[in-house]
Structure 1
Amino acid sequence: MKKTTITTLLLALIITGCQKQPAALPEEERAKITKQFEESDEKINGYFDLLENPDTSQKVRKQILCKDWPDIYYKQYVPALKQLSPEYTDEELSQALDRAVYYYKEKYVIDCNQ
């Protein structure tokens, strides 16, 4: 149930990001940003698959939750999404990631500080 909620939230962000493109961006720049957004979204979806796979080790899950996912999210996904849909705030996007990561940390009992 929680996975469905998280997935729905992230998909809503993705769909909105893809639909609302500011006219001020030149087509070439918009295409570059859209490509960055889609590539980072693919990586994040791959993380979901790995996190949900019962064969994924705790070590890999910890790497994804504590390093890889936040890194891709903040360095690639968020900047691209904000350029495509400037109505999103840093706080909203940060909270969305925090909720998703928290869910998986609780589910798999992962502590990034250890």
Structure 2
Amino acid sequence: MKKTTLTALLLALINTGCQKQPAALPEQERAAITKQFEESDEKINGYFDLLENPGTSQDVRKQILCKDWPNVYYKQYVPALKQLSPEYTDEELSQALDRAVDYYKEKYVINCDL
């Protein structure tokens, strides 16, 4: 159930980000931002695949949840999404990541503080 909710939330964010594009952005800049968004989205989807793969080690899961995913999310995904869909707030996007990461931390008993 949590995975379904999480997936639906992330897909809604992705879908909205791809559909709404500010008219003020020049076509070349919009294309570059869209490319950044799509590339970061691909990376994040790759993290989902690794997290769900039963063969993925706890060390790899911890690296993804504690470092890789937040890094890509905040440095690539969020800036691109906010340019494509400025109605999203930093707080909303931060909460979305927190919910997703917390779900996997709980599922795989991972503590980033250690």
Interval of TM-score (by shorter of Structure 1 and Structure 2): over 0.9
Q: Which runs of 5+ in 2 are unaligned?
A: none
User: Which residue of 2 is the match for residue 13 of structure 1?
Assistant: 13
**TM-score normalised according to structure 1 size:** 0.99
1:32-111 map, 5 Å? 32-111=32-111
User: Which residue of 1 is the match for residue 3 of structure 2?
Assistant: 3
2:113 corresponds to 1:113: yes
Paired AA for residue 14 in structure 1? I
Deviation of 1:67 (Å)? 0.1
Q: Which runs of 4 or more aligned residues in structure 1 lie more than 3 Å from their structure 2 counterparts after TM superposition?
A: none
Distance 2:29 2:4 in 1: 33
Deviation of 1:71 (Å)? 0.1
Q: CA RMSD in A?
A: 0.3
Distance 1:45 1:2 in 2: 17
**TM-score normalised according to structure 2 size:** 0.99
Aligned residues with identical type, % of pairs: 89
Q: How many pairs are equivalent?
A: 114
